[in-house]
C-alpha cells in the first residue's frame, strides 16, 4: 500500500485530461487500500485562485472521487520550502542565474545545445560578473548545480527512464519557490509514496529524484499517465471547445456520463457501459493501462 495524491494548480477549471489523470491517481491508491490526499498547488496565486480551486474540488467530488483529511495548500508550506532551499545553498549545491526565460530559450536553441536544457550560462560566473548583473538590477533565480549527473528512475507506465539532470530552477527570480523544489518537499512531508500525474512531467522526474537524493528523502514511486489530445493532435485545452465538466453538463451530459467516457478510454469498461467506481476498482490493473495518448472527441 502506498499513499497517493492529486495536486491540481488553480489556474483554470479541470478539463477531461486532468479529470482522467485524477481518476487514475485515485484508482492507484484506492485499489490497493491506500490513503489518497488532495493538495492545491497555489504557490503562484491569482485573484481567482480560491474560486478556481473550489470548482476543481467540486468537479472531482462530482465524479465520486474522495480524499483523506483536509485539502492541503502548497502556499502554506512556504517557510518549509525556504528552509530546505537554505540547506541546499549552504551545501554549495546552487548558483544564481540572471538569465531571462527568453535568453534561456535562445541559448538552448543554439546549435549543439541539449534540447530544452539549461545552457549553463550563469553556472560559472565570477564574483564581479554577478555584481555587475546585480548592479544592473537583474534579479536572480536560484538553480540546482547538477554537474551533469545521469539519474535513472522507474516509471510504472513508461518503464525505465534515464536522463542527465538539468540545472533546474529552485527559486524563481521573484523569490517564489519553484515547482521542482516545492513538489519534492511537499510530497515527502505529506507522506506521499506514489505520484501519479501526466506524462508531460516525465522528463522532469530524474531531476526531482536527484533532488530527493541530495536532501536525503526517500523517492516516491512514479506513474505518468499519457496525455489527452484534441482532434488536432495537440494537447487538450479550452480551445478544443467543451472540455470541462461544466461545459459537458451544460450540453446535457451527467458526471456519470463523463466518468464512463474516461473509464472507457482507460479500457476499464466497454463503450456505452455504466462505470460505477466500485466496478472500476474491481477491473483496475495498473499494468494494463494505455501507454499511448488518448484523443478526445468533442460531444
Q: Domain of 291: which CATH number?
A: 3.40.50.620
Q: Are residues 162 and 244 in the same domain?
A: no
Domain-embedded: residue 153: yes
Domain count, the chain: 2
Which pLDDT belongs to residue 114? Answer: 53
**Distance separating alpha carbons of residues 75 and 45, to the nearest angstrom:** 8
Residue-range definition of the domain harbouring residue 94: 79-181
156 inside domain: yes
Answer with the one of 123, 149, 181 that is the final residue of a domain.
181
**Residue where a domain terminates, one of 120, 149, 181:** 181
Q: Of 147, 181, 215, at which residue does a domain stop?
A: 181
Three-state secondary-structure class, residue 218: coil
Of the candidates 178, 168, 6, 179, the one whose C-alpha atom is nearest the C-alpha of residue 95 is 168
Q: Are residues 170 and 102 in the same domain?
A: yes
Same domain, 53 and 132: no
User: Looking at residue 276, what is its pLDDT?
Assistant: 94
Residue 160 and residue 114 share a domain:
yes
Whether 59 and 100 share a structural domain: no
CATH number where 83 lies: 3.90.800.10
Parallel/antiparallel/unpaired status of strands 228-229 and 221-225: unpaired
Query: How crowded is the C-beta side of 181, counted as CA atoms within 13 Å?
Result: 30
Domain annotation covers residue 215: no
Q: Mark whether 9 and 92 lie in a shared domain.
A: no
* 20, 108: one domain: no
Q: Is residue 63 part of a domain?
A: yes
* 86 shares a domain with 129: yes
Give the chain's end-to-end CA distance (angstroms, integer): 38
Residue 203 within any structural domain of the chain: no
Specify whether 66 is located in the same domain as 101: no
Cβ(141)–Cβ(180) below 8 Å:
no
Has residue 43 been placed in a domain?
A: yes
Whether 57 and 10 share a structural domain? yes
Rounded to two decimals, the pTM is 0.94
pLDDT recorded at residue 266:
96
Domain for residue 207, yes or no?
no
Confidence at residue 110, expressed as pLDDT on a 0 to 100 scale: 56
Q: Render each residue's pLDDT in the chain as its tens digit; 299 residues.
A: 789 999 999 999 999 999 999 999 999 999 999 999 999 999 988 889 999 999 999 999 999 999 999 999 999 999 999 999 999 999 999 999 999 888 888 876 655 545 567 888 899 899 999 999 998 888 999 999 998 889 999 999 999 999 999 999 999 999 999 999 999 999 999 999 999 999 999 999 999 999 999 999 999 999 999 999 999 999 998 888 889 999 999 999 999 999 999 999 999 999 989 899 999 999 999 999 999 999 998 76
Domain annotation covers residue 112? yes
Q: 58 and 19 in one domain? A: yes
Amino acid at each position: 500500500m502506498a499513499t497517493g495524491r492529486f495536486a491540481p494548480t488553480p489556474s483554470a477549471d479541470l478539463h477531461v485530461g486532468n479529470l482522467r489523470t485524477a481518476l487514475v491517481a485515485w484508482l492507484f491508491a484506492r485499489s490497493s487500500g491506500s490513503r489518497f490526499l488532495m493538495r492545491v498547488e497555489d504557490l503562484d496565486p491569482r485573484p481567482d485562485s480560491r474560486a478556481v480551486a473550489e470548482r476543481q474540488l467540486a468537479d472531482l467530488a462530482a465524479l465520486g472521487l474522495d480524499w483523506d483529511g483536509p485539502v492541503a495548500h502548497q502556499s502554506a508550506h512556504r517557510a518549509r520550502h525556504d528552509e530546505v532551499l537554505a540547506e541546499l545553498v549552504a551545501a554549495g549545491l546552487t548558483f544564481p542565474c540572471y538569465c531571462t526565460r527568453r535568453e534561456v530559450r535562445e541559448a538552448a536553441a543554439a546549435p549543439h545545445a541539449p534540447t530544452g536544457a539549461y545552457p549553463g550560462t550563469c553556472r560559472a560566473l565570477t564574483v564581479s560578473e554577478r555584481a555587475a548583473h546585480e548592479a544592473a538590477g537583474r534579479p536572480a533565480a536560484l538553480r540546482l548545480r547538477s554537474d551533469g549527473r545521469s539519474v535513472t528512475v522507474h516509471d510504472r507506465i513508461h518503464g525505465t527512464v534515464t536522463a542527465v539532470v538539468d540545472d533546474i530552477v529552485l527559486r524563481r527570480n521573484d523569490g517564489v519557490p519553484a515547482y521542482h523544489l516545492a513538489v519534492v518537499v511537499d510530497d515527502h512531508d505529506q507522506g506521499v509514496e506514489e505520484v501519479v500525474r501526466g506524462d508531460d512531467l516525465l522528463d522532469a522526474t530524474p531531476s526531482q529524484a536527484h533532488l530527493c537524493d541530495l536532501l536525503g528523502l526517500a523517492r516516491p514511486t512514479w506513474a505518468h499517465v499519457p496525455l489527452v489530445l484534441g482532434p488536432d493532435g495537440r494537447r487538450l485545452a479550452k480551445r478544443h471547445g467543451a472540455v470541462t465538466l461544466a461545459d459537458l453538463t451544460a450540453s446535457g451530459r451527467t458526471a456519470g456520463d463523463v466518468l464512463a467516457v474516461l473509464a472507457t478510454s482507460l479500457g476499464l469498461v466497454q463503450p456505452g457501459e455504466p462505470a460505477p467506481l466500485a466496478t472500476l476498482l474491481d477491473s483496475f490493473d495498473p499494468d494494463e493501462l494505455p501507454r499511448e495518448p488518448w484523443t478526445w472527441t468533442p460531444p
